């Protein structure tokens, strides 16, 4: 997590973005915000739950463990689909960054598409100024810049239930510390609550180091803030306008790094390895993990259980029911209610030790049990430049079927990003991390890449074979 959001001059930004994306009419009133008939039709297809239930997202993808050479080729043209050389998937570059610019999904744990996938949000940074922009969710054409400055660039929460709504906490005066519900089509803003009575006039609450989404009914949120002498954590229930606060940090069992994060069903919170009740005090379950702050995401298992998907580099105290690798792996599943632990991707199946820079996205809310992941690699990136083959998952985006009866790792694309090792861009190298994020239907994955440390970052969408099969089956 890195807070890089700044307020900007909107007209200047609009002009720059329009030129960069080749969309000079980006905010033309003639466009209004009418959803095209094509977008409406595709939204109906990707939200057809009966069709999605029958869809095997891994069909047509490579599931072997063969080493693959990362074939070097020029950054693909903006707006043009290409076929990934290693895995044959269809990928499209959906932004056209200038030198030192960034276009990327906000974070792997935050929805990039809205509830019906009709809209897609990217974060853009240029000359140190940042803004969130909306694109058509299917054509990937830019629509407009959002007039928001959130408390953290990653903490813009799409509604799970209403495709027009998102939530954020404002970090700009005079709306500082307002918790806002925004209708992105009408630009109507509704202030749900202001937190200055808890956090003071100059501190806006955040969800902590690695934010996760709100409850699935959009009713329960968790935040924390520095209140001077100590930190305060809080839960907020929208429907009841109910705020609960508790101390956080020194003198408590929890450090100030993370806020309490609501479980998907809204019936409790994850708090640094513990599952606590809504009172933010009573511990229901303790998860068997060495570190509570590895990259992770909430989600649902294939059978509807609430689970916590995480990477792990160190053995756990109880070993995750494994006497050999003891809970170390690219993907470990924790049941949030029983505390049971299960390794999904680890060395026992021939995968390497957990690759550096591995992120998890369980945002496929309509396809429980499916998880998208991205891994960066190692400290030296000679495997990106040489002709030698790389071990599986190096510089890869991949999809995981976590159902024990059909468990598979499906290799999807190579992202070719130097990420934190990049040196050529006038931006924080963190922005080059892929942060692969899966769509609600599970049929598409977005990622960012600096493309061999090119000096800028662009966003790319992988359209899985399942995406095309789904569309063709209903046309």
- Across 1-5, 17-21, 288-292, least confident range: 17-21
Per-residue model confidence (pLDDT) at position 112: 98
Percent share of the chain, pLDDT over 90:
84
Confidence at residue 33, expressed as pLDDT on a 0 to 100 scale: 62
The 10s digit of each residue's pLDDT in 62-81 is: 999 999 999 999 999 999 99
If you average pLDDT over every residue of the chain, what do you get? Answer: 91
Please state the rounded mean pLDDT for residues 338-345.
94
Residue 379 has pLDDT above 80, yes or no: no
| Residue 5 pLDDT exceeds 50 | no
- Residue 255's pLDDT is 93
Give me the pLDDT at residue 380, please: 62
Distance, in Å, from the CA atom of 410 to the CA atom of 267, rounded to the nearest integer, reads 33
pLDDT 10s digits, 172-221: 999 999 999 999 999 999 999 999 999 998 899 999 888 999 999 999 99
Write down the pLDDT at residue 353. Answer: 94
Q: Taking the model in full, what pTM does it have? A: 0.92
| Domain 147-286, CATH | 2.40.128
pLDDT band at 229 (very low <50, low <70, confident <90, very high): confident
Pick 32 or 342 by higher pLDDT.
342
Judged against a pLDDT cut of 50, whether residue 93 lies above it is answered with yes
In the predicted model, what is the mean pLDDT of residues 270-281? Answer: 96
Q: Would you call 397 helix, strand, or coil by DSSP?
A: strand
Instruction: Determine the pLDDT at residue 34.
Output: 65
Q: Residue 18: is its pLDDT beyond 60?
A: no
The answer, yes or no, to whether residue 355 has pLDDT greater than 70, is yes
pLDDT of residue 55: 97
**Residue 11: its pLDDT value, please?**
30
Residue 26, pLDDT above cutoff 70: no
User: In the chain, what are the domain boundaries?
Assistant: 147-286
């Amino acid at each position: 997590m890195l807070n890089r959001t700044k307020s900007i001059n909107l007209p200047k930004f609009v002009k720059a973005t329009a030129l960069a994306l080749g969309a000079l009419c980006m905010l033309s009133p003639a466009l209004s915000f009418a959803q095209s008939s094509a977008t409406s039709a595709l939204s109906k297809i990707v939200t057809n739950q009966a069709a999605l239930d029958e869809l095997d997202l891994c069909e047509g993808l490579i599931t072997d463990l063969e080493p693959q050479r990362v074939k070097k080729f020029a950054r693909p043209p903006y707006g043009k689909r290409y076929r990934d050389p290693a895995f044959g998937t269809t990928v499209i570059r959906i932004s056209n960054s200038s030198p030192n610019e960034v276009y990327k999904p906000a974070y792997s744990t935050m929805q990039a598409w809205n509830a019906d996938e009709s809209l897609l949000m990217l974060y853009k940074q240029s000359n140190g100024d940042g803004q969130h922009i909306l694109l058509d969710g299917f054509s990937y054409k830019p629509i407009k810049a959002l007039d928001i400055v959130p408390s953290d660039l990653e903490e813009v929460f799409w509604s799970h239930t209403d495709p027009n709504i998102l939530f954020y906490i404002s970090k700009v005066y005079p709306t500082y510390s307002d918790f806002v519900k925004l209708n992105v089509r009408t630009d109507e803003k509704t202030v749900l609550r202001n937190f200055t009575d808890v956090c003071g006039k100059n501190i806006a609450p955040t969800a902590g180091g690695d934010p996760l989404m709100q409850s699935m009914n959009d009713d329960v949120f968790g935040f924390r803030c520095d209140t001077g002498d100590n930190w305060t954590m809080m839960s907020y229930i929208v429907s009841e306008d109910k705020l609960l606060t508790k101390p956080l940090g020194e003198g408590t069992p929890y450090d100030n790094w993370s806020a309490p994060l609501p479980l998907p069903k809204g019936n409790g919170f994850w708090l640094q390895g513990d599952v606590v009740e809504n009172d933010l005090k009573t511990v229901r379950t303790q998860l068997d993990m060495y570190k509570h702050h590895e990259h992770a995401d909430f989600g649902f298992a294939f059978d509807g259980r609430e689970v916590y998907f995480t990477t792990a580099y160190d053995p756990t105290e109880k070993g995750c029911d494994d006497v050999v690798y003891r809970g170390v792996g690219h993907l470990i599943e924790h049941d949030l209610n029983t505390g049971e632990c299960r390794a999904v991707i680890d060395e026992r199946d021939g995968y390497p030790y957990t690759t550096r820079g591995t992120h998890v996205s369980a945002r496929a809310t309509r396809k429980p049990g499916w998880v998208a992941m991205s891994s960066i690699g190692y400290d030296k990136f000679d495997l990106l430049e040489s002709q030698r083959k790389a071990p599986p998952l190096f510089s890869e985006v991949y999809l995981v079927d976590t159902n024990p009866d059909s468990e598979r790792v499906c290799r999807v694309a190579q992202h070719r990003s130097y990420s934190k090792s990049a040196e050529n861009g006038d931006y924080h190298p963190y922005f080059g991390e892929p942060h692969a994020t899966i769509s609600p239907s599970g049929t598409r994955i977005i990622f960012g890449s600096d493309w061999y440390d090119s000096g800028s970052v662009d966003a790319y969408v992988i359209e899985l074979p399942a995406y095309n099969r789904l569309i063709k089956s209903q046309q």
